[in-house]
A and B are shown apart, each in its own frame.
Chain A
Amino acid sequence: MNYEELEKRAVACKGWKWMPGMRGVRSFFHPTLGEHVTINVRIESSLDVELIETPSRSQELVSSAHCTVSGWTKVSGMLPDLTDPATMGCLLALVREIWGDNTASTAATRELDKTTGWIMDCWNPQSPLNKIGPFKTEAEALVAALEASP
């Protein structure tokens, strides 16, 4: 599974929300410029974002990027960057919050075919969290945990 598909699955979860520190990427067609543009933002708080990277005519694009913001729960077309360490840390915090389990974490496993797998791991052996995985990537394990949240 590629990262874009995984990122779309993450924002589709009912428990999804943007958290301070997450990096978001939004690609969209800008009618004035007549081209596709990509904006990278870092969520600073529930209301503010820091623009990391924009094309040159940024002001106009910023207003466009904000036009469909609704409490930073869902932002049209914006996806979390699951290759970004800070975003991954926030995603883990979100999983812990939704499952109500601060001991939840990801864990690397050595699979029978000698590849590395990623599972969810928590202190309570009875928790369904411990049955999630293995997956090829750490991000996939976290998104699966988000999707399976009670």
Chain B
Amino acid sequence: MDSYDGDNLLPDLTDPATLGCLLSLVREAWGDDTIYASNLKGYDGYDWVCIVDTGILTTGNARAYLHTKHGVTYFCGLTEAEALVAALEAAP
């Protein structure tokens, strides 16, 4: 593996196994095993949301997420993968 150039390696986000691993990565990054993605057709112009309990963050670390209500944030995407990546990008 010494000569392997991993910089050009990208995950195949159409692959079910990779999506399962991405969801696991999001849960790990947020420290919450109950995070999930859900289809909410048309929610604010998006089809998929990744639902994260951002209320667990302390006040000092809290950010102004776009779609937060009662401490729960919807990270949106046109696809399931896009919603999961948005949640991963926003992880503390």
Contacts and interface: CB of A to CB of B under 8 A. Distances in A.
A107 B49 CA distance: 12
Interface residues of B, number: 19
A21 B17 contact: yes
B23 A85 contact: yes
B34 A86 contact: no
Contacts of B80: 105
Interface string B16-50: 11111101100000000011111111000000000
Nearest to B16: A93
A40 B6 CA distance: 25
A87 B17 contact: yes
Contacts of B15: 20-21
Given A103-B41, A123-B41, A92 B20 contact: yes
Interface string B59-80: 0000000000000000000001
Contacts of A92: 16, 19-20
Contacts, number: 59
A25 interface: no
A113 to B, nearest CB: 15
The range of chain A's interface size is 20 to 34
A123 B39 contact: yes
Contact of B34 (A85, A102, A116): A116
Interface of A: 19-22, 85-90, 92-93, 102-103, 105-108, 116, 121-123
Interface of B: 15-21, 23-24, 34-41, 51, 80
